[in-house]
Amino acid sequence: MPAPTHRVFSLGRIAAIAANTLTELTRLRVFYALLIFALILIGSSIFMARLTFQQELQVLKDISLGAMSIFTSLLAIVGTARLLPQDIEERTVYTILAKPVARFEYLAGKLCGVLMLLAISVGLMTVLFSIVLFFREQSVLAETTLQMAGLPADQLSEAIRSVRASAFSANLLPGIGAIYLKGCLLASLTLFISTFATSNIFTVVVAMVVYFIGHLQATAREFWLLEQGGGPFSRTFLAVVALLFPDLQLFDLADEAVLGTVIPFALFLKTVALGCFYVVLYLLLAVVVFAGREL
């Protein structure tokens, strides 16, 4: 009987590691974050009954997508930062790598597990958000129809159209997609940092710093180059920052989606491509570092 051949790359092995990572992360009760999200959503929804419907629906969408962005980013950083140190501490990594599993597969599996967790979280938050928004929309529609019953038909239909436009629309989906993408990028970046980090805290702190730099760099560029003219030192500094760090503001589509701007599909696709590029880049860098790491 011929000996079974070992394939250098196996999607099956990556899927098995990803599934285990997802189970591990789920056991850490990370979904408690979703409970907090639900409380924020419902709490703010009750408070905002004081505002007019347009204000209420817009603020509700802003708060929901803002909370979604915070939780997804935190989940991506904190969830990923502990994966490698924990496996090393519990010696699971030795058991896995002693089998015919390449280090690349191990890291890709870990990352896929986190990305699956993020997808589930974002999906659940979107469902929760849509339900709350739908109920608020229905009650506002009923109120508007009652209040404007005596007005001309075109003004009533305009008001109803305005309510519907202020509520959930497919337009929000690219914004939510961009939040997920940013989460994926942060997860991949954190995995890369954790391959050379000495502690869990170090990984989280560095990832957070990169997060802030990623968001600040475009504003800093605008301020220093356009408003201040920019000397050679600031130009060099900004160039180095732009080379080394991702521009995370490019993933902020949610704000515009909430304001009713239609996000063109082509623009969304370009953002997706950029996000995927970063995810793959940081994964490859993590593989390079991890391959040389003494375990």
Cα–Cα distance for residue pair 53/197, rounded to 1 Å: 49
- When the beta carbons of 138 and 249 are compared against other proteins, the nearer one is 249
The reply on whether position 248 binds other proteins by CB under 8 A is yes
Taking CB under 8 A as the criterion, the residue among 54, 138, 139, 145 binding other proteins is 54
Taking CB under 8 A as the criterion, the residue among 16, 30, 116, 242 binding other proteins is 242
Taking CB under 8 A as the criterion, the residue among 41, 122, 263, 279 binding other proteins is 263
The reply on whether position 51 binds other proteins by CB under 8 A is yes
- When the beta carbons of 28 and 267 are compared against other proteins, the nearer one is 267
Q: Report DSSP state, residue 4.
A: P
Taking residues 186 to 205 in sequence order and writing x for each that binds other proteins by CB under 8 A, - otherwise, the string is ----------x---------
From the CB of 211, what's the least distance to other proteins, in Å? 7
Taking CB under 8 A as the criterion, the residue among 152, 170, 198, 265 binding other proteins is 152
Point out which span in 19-27, 108-116, 134-142, 248-256 binds other proteins (CB under 8 A). 248-256
Cα–Cα distance for residue pair 105/117, rounded to 1 Å: 18
Look at residues 100, 98, 83, 87 and name the one whose alpha carbon lies nearest to residue 9. Answer: 100
Burial of 76 (0-12, 13-18, 19+ CB in 10 A): buried
Strands (E), 37-167: none
Element (H, E) at 16: helix 11-27
Point out which span in 13-21, 78-86, 89-97, 286-294 binds other proteins (CB under 8 A). 286-294
Could you tell me if 89 and 199 are in contact, meaning their C-beta atoms sit under 8 angstroms apart?
A: no
Cα–Cα distance for residue pair 255/241, rounded to 1 Å: 25
- When the beta carbons of 69 and 190 are compared against other proteins, the nearer one is 69
